[in-house]
Amino acid sequence: MHIYEIFKHVHLACVGLSGLLFALRGLWMIQESSLLQSRVIKVIPHIVDTVLLLSAAGLIVQLGGIPLWVQVKVLALFVYVAFGVAAFKGGSMGLRLTAFFLGLLTYSFIISVAVSKSPYGFLIHFM
């Protein structure tokens, strides 16, 4: 298997895990579950996201540059992280729920950019 394919498979697995963990943590937040306070649940997303970023860096090196659509994904990632922080460390439940759903929307946008390899992702349908 070529090194690019290894980075890609690791990256895709981490993308799925990151989204799954975000959604699960959001569900537990809505349910006000004590599981959300588990040390493992607080640490695992950071490990997954670190591997996700490292594999992304490996893919960028293999590509030999940073295409515009990848730049958009990176920018959207910062937005996703900000919504995640607001969702799980924010103030009122209303604010946290809004941030959570905006985080899911941003995650979906990042996926759509990756799949389409277009900086517009699913927003192209609104233009």
Q: What is the pLDDT of residues 19-76, one digit of tens each?
A: 999 999 999 999 999 999 999 999 999 999 999 999 999 999 998 889 999 999 999 9
Task: Quote the Cα angle for 23-57-114, to 5°.
Answer: 50
pLDDT at 68: 95
**pTM above the 0.85 mark?**
yes
Q: Residues near 99 by Cβ (< 8 Å), separated by ≥ 6?
A: 83, 84, 86, 87, 90
Contact 84, 103 (CB under 8 A): yes
Instruction: Report residue 22 as tokens.
Output: 């975000």
Closest by CA position to 100, among listed 32, 29, 41, 49: 29
